[in-house]
Amino acid sequence: MKSQDHINLKECGQSPDLQFISDAHATQLPFAVYDAFTDIPFSGSQAAVVLNASSISHKNRSRIASEIGYPATSFVNTVDGNQITAQFFSTVMELPMCGHGTVCLVTNLVESGLLPCENYDWHEAILILPNTQARVEYRRNSKARIEVMLDVKSAKFTAANLNFTELAQILSIDNKDYSVNLEPKISTADFIHLCLPMRDLKAMKSLEPDFTALAKFCVSNGLETVATFTTQVEESSQDIHVRDFCPAVGVNESAAAGTTNAALAHYLLHNGIVSPSDMTNKVTVKSEQGIELNRPSKIRTTLTTSDDQISRSQVGGVATLILNGWLNAGILSE
């Protein structure tokens, strides 16, 4: 493959009119919208992908993400072999990592011919972000969908010394709606989550947060999301039911969150609710999320253990293309 400064997609089986170029004078940039963690259109969590983004300033990336209004917009600067240089933004901030954004981004690069995906073999790419990098594995599954698994940081847990009565009021529930068997914990990895176990599905469905108050609660307590969950599920093939509230980072409630579900999988393993296979030293946690938003999603987290320690954490799924188009770069002059 040619250097990223000029990759002609005609050579990758794409339209000769579409080129991946880092040209400050380009007037149109390829743009796509996907639904992540779902194979059903108009479900899962939305993310936009902007290619040829190297000439877009930080200020304008933030403005574009705010204008688009999705939980995440990914800006791809370069694709050099299997190395992807990119950046994620929510509507209010730059994101250090984004699970559902990565699933959409890699799916788009494969479908655009910018990443190879031969047969049904796993391929590896390196995602390079401003402050970190991560390994990504992807393949074409038996349904010919692009399946993407992102390596994420292992979570560290600390006690949640919070005012849970105040939080219950903000969430419009009673203290009795919290789980009596599991304790809340603060998980720190790519994001800081409050892992908040709930009593049952009824309690989960009764959650009606005051998002303004919840954002203030999160900021004052150093949290980025409140990840509520229960092991009671609607679909028997899944392991946990999740609702993730993220007003502090620009999304009131996420329909599908990869990094959140990775943190919850760590929580389940940490508390002995799931255990690795003796044969593979791996455990897979399958999550259902977004049901209350009428955007159902399915997220898979795989944890690999070694000597009772987590040696690798992966989270992922598939994404569904909703639309392709062009971003007008002519409006982005400083």
Q: Give the model confidence (pLDDT) of 36-78 as tens digits.
A: 999 999 999 999 999 999 989 999 999 999 999 999 999 999 9
Residue-level pLDDT at 334: 52
Mean pLDDT value of segment 191-197? 97
Residue-level pLDDT at 307: 83
Residue-level pLDDT at 328: 86
Q: Are 97 and 108 in contact (CB under 8 A)?
A: no
Q: With bands split at pLDDT 50, 70 and 90, how would you rate the model's confidence at 151?
A: very high
* Phi then psi dihedrals of residue 296, to 5 deg: -60, 145
Residue-level pLDDT at 23: 46
Reported pTM: 0.87
**Residue 140 C-beta-side C-alpha neighbours within 13 Å:** 10
Q: With bands split at pLDDT 50, 70 and 90, how would you rate the model's confidence at 104?
A: very high
d(CA 290, CA 155): 23
Q: Give the model confidence (pLDDT) of 12-23 as tens digits.
A: 334 334 444 444
Strands 282-289 and 123-128 turn out to be unpaired
Q: Which residues does residue 303 pair with via DSSP β-bridges, in sequence order?
A: 283, 313
Residue type, 93: M
Q: Please determine, for residue 30, whether its predicted confidence score (pLDDT) is greater than 50.
A: yes
Task: Count the Cβ atoms, other than its own, within 10 Å of residue 115.
Answer: 23
Average predicted confidence (pLDDT) for the chain = 91
Q: Please name the residues in contact with 248: beta carbons below 8 A apart, sequence gap of 6 or more.
A: 214, 215, 218, 219, 223, 224, 225
Which structure tokens are listed for 298? 């399915």
Q: Report all structural domains of the chain as residue ranges with CATH numbers, in order of start.
A: 6-151+319-332 (3.10.310.10), 156-315 (3.10.310.10)
Q: Please determine, for residue 311, whether its predicted confidence score (pLDDT) is greater than 80.
A: yes
For the chain, what percentages of helix, strand and coil (3-state, to nearest 5) are there? 25, 40, 35
Q: Give the model confidence (pLDDT) of 118-149 as tens digits.
A: 889 999 999 999 999 999 999 999 899 999 99
Residue-level pLDDT at 216: 98
